[in-house]
Amino acid sequence: MNQPAAVRVQGLVKRFGKTVALDGADLEVATGTVYGLLGPNGAGKTTLVRVLATLLRPDAGTAEVFGHDVATQASAVRQRIALTGQFAAVDELLTGRENLQMFGRLLGLDVRAAARRADELLARFELSEAAGRHARTYSGGMRRRLDLASSLLVRPQLLFLDEPTTGLDPHSRVTIWDIVRDLAEAGVTVLLTTQYLEEADALADRIAVIDHGRVIAEGTSDELKDHVGGQVLEVRLRSTADRPAAEAALLRLDGTAPQFGRDPLRLSVQVAHDGLGLLTNAAAALRDAGVALTDLGLRRPTLDDVFLQLTGAPPEDPQPRETSAHAAGPDGSAEAPAEHDARHVRHNPG
Amino acid sequence: MTTLAPPALPAWRRIVRDGLLLTVRNLRHFVREPHLVVFSTVQPIMFVLLFSFVFGGAIGQALPPGLDYTSFLLPGIFVQAVAFRSTQTAVGLANDLDKGVIDRFKSMPMARSAVLLGRTAADLIRSVFVVLLMAGVGYLIGFRFVTGPLQATAAVLLVALFGFALSWVFAFVALYVRNPEAAQSAAFVAVFPLVFASSAFVPVETMPGWLATITAVSPVTVTVDAVRALAIGGPVLSPLLQSLAWIVAVVAVFMPLSVWRYRRVD
């Protein structure tokens, strides 16, 4: 028997007024996997999750969860999913324990089962000590853990985690990662969105890169990095005045054309082959051109590089291309207009 | 480490169970906000004292002989307190929308209408509490239910039902406005003229003719008149029927509207 995919999305479109949040997104998530949706703010990640969680109705296209259409079979979908959103959706005036007991009861557990389950989860999420305190006194990490615990009172088949670690300290982040790994081991399908390649890298079996409401690349983390290239040569200038000279010097080397990110002092060059040779040559060429540097080095590609490569724009700075409507944040976030340095981006012909 | 989902209940039992769970949750909120408890109690008491002692002497002149202002005022104050109180339905619901708790509720396999039912039911209970409190304050300054315990109970129930109906209006407002502060302002813009242009504080006959005509059919006026008759005597049937008609009509319109809007809100 063929198991239906946990998530199947085809040509999904969602507009908010003139803003196109989802612009024909396609996606398939296999049951039992951890799937990462990677993209900048306003790329449409949250909108996609909200459509899949039956909170938003799509304008066009189809979205199915375990074969159930999110628009026409919403209640079948809701029985199989749990959602932990970007902002901890816990009741601030209830205690941690009361929150879990209430959500457990709403999920159909009887009083005793809800109480037992709440205590289990409080212990597991290191919240036992704070269980009797109002959630509004919790730290960001505690709230996020409580929110995640609320999604696990009854085992979901598919768990949505919308930027589960954004704004968390490193310790809390690692705690959340451990929980996600445990869930995956227990067979729960997880769809998580993130702005951090590192996070997708650490958790996800497969990753979709989403930008301007479309999936622009899909694969394992290694496949995505290979797409960018195995290594990147990074140059940091002392002064922006040296930029034309540095660019000219690097262009003559064996790498591809240098790219500028958000930081005007930083240039990066994809390494085609022989990183060490390129590093040596670049050092010599830049010295000959009289360019003053603060740093020069080889490293693995980062989210910035994946984005530069795939979209021609740095990830933190989604800029309008065809229409300015794309610039507004469909995730509900007001975004700064594209900054001028984005205009210096060179599109990589390769 | 995980628990499997329990079997689904029939729809009506889920609505009752989820509605009750959220009613308890909202009542808990109320007692956990001491400022809210204090000020939402002090405000109607202040109204009783202000109207009774500041305006009482002047307005009392316009009353029929033998009717003192405190007896006239208190039924009006009951309705005013509950009408003001019902604007908090908008604030509470807008707050939930703002905080993202509604997102969790909506993504759960729970009864769709439970969030609104739990909200309005909790506010109904608080309305009864407010009315009883006002009656207590009224007793201190000379107000008495002179008709009998049955009528007194009916008066309290009618006021509470009126507040319940208004709660549905303000639930709908909150689902449109979403922002708690804006919801509060919008609700007060609606409630103020409705309450003051009524028989709550003054006899309608003292208003200019055009206003008296409008005011005579206002839901606040007919409810105040019915409560007043139930509390201190007078013709009950006509205002009571008009008041009940208003309550039924408002609930019949705004309950489905709010539920419809709740499903759509994102």
Residue among B2, B21, B107 whose CB faces A53 most closely: B107
pLDDT of residue B168: 95
Does position A103 have pLDDT exceeding 90, yes or no? yes
pLDDT of residue B160: 95
CA–CA distance from A80 to each of A74, A267, B107 (Å)?
A: 10, 46, 10
State whether A154 and B106 contact (CB < 8 Å): no
Average pLDDT, whole number, for chain A? 82
pLDDT band at B183 (very low <50, low <70, confident <90, very high): confident
Size of interface A-B (CB pairs under 8 A): 93
pLDDT of residue B162: 96
CB atoms inside a 10 Å sphere around CB A184? 18
Contacts of A222 (CB under 8 A, 6+ apart): none
The secondary structure element, H or E, covering residue A106 is helix A96-106
First to last CA, chain A: 42
Rounded-to-integer distance, Cα A204 and Cα A228, Å: 18
B151 within a domain of the structure (yes/no): yes
Does position A339 have pLDDT exceeding 60, yes or no? no
State whether B4 and A154 contact (CB < 8 Å): yes
Would you state the structure tokens that stand for residue B247, as one six-digit string? 């309550």
Least confident of A247-256, B40-49, B86-95, B218-227: A247-256
Q: Is B11 on the interface with A (CB under 8 A)?
A: no
Instruction: Classify domain A230-332 at the CATH topology level.
Output: Alpha-Beta Plaits (3.30.70)
Least confident of A80-84, B7-11, B221-225: B7-11
ipTM: 0.85
pLDDT band at A233 (very low <50, low <70, confident <90, very high): confident
State whether A93 and B100 contact (CB < 8 Å): no
Please give the average per-residue pLDDT across A160-183, as a whole number: 88
Which CATH homologous superfamily contains domain A7-224? Answer: P-loop containing nucleotide triphosphate hydrolases (3.40.50.300)
pLDDT band at B7 (very low <50, low <70, confident <90, very high): low
Strands A19-29 and A7-16: antiparallel
pLDDT of residue A324: 32
State whether B5 and A79 contact (CB < 8 Å): yes
State whether B105 and A108 contact (CB < 8 Å): no
The domain segmentation of chain A, as residue ranges, is 7-224, 230-332
A209 closest CA partner among A348, A344, A315: A315
pLDDT of residue A170: 85
B224 closest CA partner among B199, B257, B258: B199
At residue A88, what is the residue type? A
Rounded-to-integer distance, Cα B132 and Cα B129, Å: 5
pLDDT band at A304 (very low <50, low <70, confident <90, very high): low
State whether A92 and B99 contact (CB < 8 Å): yes
Chain mean position to CA A19: 20
Rounded-to-integer distance, Cα B129 and Cα B134, Å: 9
Does position A157 have pLDDT exceeding 90, yes or no? yes
CA–CA distance from B107 to each of A78, A188, B123 (Å)?
A: 6, 17, 25
Does position B20 have pLDDT exceeding 90, yes or no? yes
Q: Which of residues 170-189 of A touch B (CB under 8 A)?
A: 182, 186, 188
Tens of pLDDT, residues A175-198: 889 999 999 999 999 999 988 878
Tens of pLDDT, residues B63-104: 888 788 888 999 999 999 999 888 889 988 998 888 888 888
B178 within a domain of the structure (yes/no): yes
Contact status, residue A73 vs residue A244, Cβ threshold 8 Å: no
Rounded-to-integer distance, Cα B82 and Cα B44, Å: 9
Strands A60-65 and A34-38: unpaired
Shortest distance, CA B98 to any CA of chain A (angstroms): 10
Beta bridge partners of A293: A237
Please give the average per-residue pLDDT across A28-51, as a whole number: 90
Contact status, residue B72 vs residue B227, Cβ threshold 8 Å: no
For a pLDDT cut of 90, what percent of chain A falls above it?
39
Number of domains in chain B: 1
pTM of structure:
0.78
State whether A107 and B99 contact (CB < 8 Å): no
pLDDT of residue A329: 37
Beta bridge partners of A207: A36, A219
Q: Is A155 on the interface with B (CB under 8 A)?
A: yes
CA–CA distance from B112 to each of A106, B118, B264 (Å)?
A: 11, 11, 11
Chain B residues with CB under 8 Å of A56 CB are: 266
B3 within a domain of the structure (yes/no): no
pLDDT band at A345 (very low <50, low <70, confident <90, very high): very low
Contact status, residue A274 vs residue A298, Cβ threshold 8 Å: no
State whether A87 and B109 contact (CB < 8 Å): no
**Which residue of B29, B33, B108 to mutate against A (max A Cβ within 10 Å)?**
B108
Domain that holds residue B197: 11-264
Contact status, residue B117 vs residue B19, Cβ threshold 8 Å: yes
Rounded-to-integer distance, Cα A203 and Cα A220, Å: 11
Does position A87 have pLDDT exceeding 50, yes or no? yes
Contacts of B227 (CB under 8 A, 6+ apart): B75, B78, B79, B155, B158, B159
State whether A102 and B105 contact (CB < 8 Å): no
Does position A336 have pLDDT exceeding 50, yes or no? no
3-state secondary structure B106-144: HHCCCCCCHHHHHHHHHHHHHHHHHHHHHHHHHHHCCCC
Identify which has the larger pLDDT, A234 or B160. B160
Looking at residue A95, what DSSP letter applies?
B
Q: Is A83 on the interface with B (CB under 8 A)?
A: yes
Contact status, residue A46 vs residue A26, Cβ threshold 8 Å: no
Chain mean position to CA B262: 21
